[in-house]
């Protein structure tokens, strides 16, 4: 995550709980997550994808990965 500054890292971490559960903040969190995920290395991005694909809702999957 060296491509992110300290503020981005903290904000990225804060998006995770909001994409794991359906909250009023989920839509904003998915947008932020997508932006930050594009900034990190592809290997780390793949690892995050592999973990989250099993735990996030279908709506969040579509919002982040378009599938």
Q: Is the dihedral of CA 2, 51, 42, 16 positive or negative?
A: negative
pLDDT, one tens digit per residue, over 4-60 is 889 988 998 899 899 988 889 999 999 998 888 888 877 777 888 888 888 888 888
Nearest to 26 by CA among 48, 49, 56: 56
pLDDT score recorded for residue 36: 87
- Where b means 16+ CB within 10 Å and e means fewer, 15-48 reads beebbeeeeeebeebbebbeebbeebeeeeeeeb
pLDDT score recorded for residue 67: 61
pLDDT score recorded for residue 60: 84
The structural domains of the chain, with segments of one domain joined by +, span 6-65
Does residue 1 carry a pLDDT above 60? no
Q: Is the dihedral of CA 67, 14, 5, 50 positive or negative?
A: negative
């Amino acid at each position: 995550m060296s491509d992110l500054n300290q503020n981005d890292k903290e904000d990225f971490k804060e998006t995770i709980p909001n994409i794991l559960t359906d909250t009023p903040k989920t839509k904003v969190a998915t947008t932020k997550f997508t932006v930050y995920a594009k900034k990190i290395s592809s290997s780390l991005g793949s690892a995050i994808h592999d973990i989250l694909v099993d735990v996030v809702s279908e709506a969040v999957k579509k919002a982040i990965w378009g599938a």
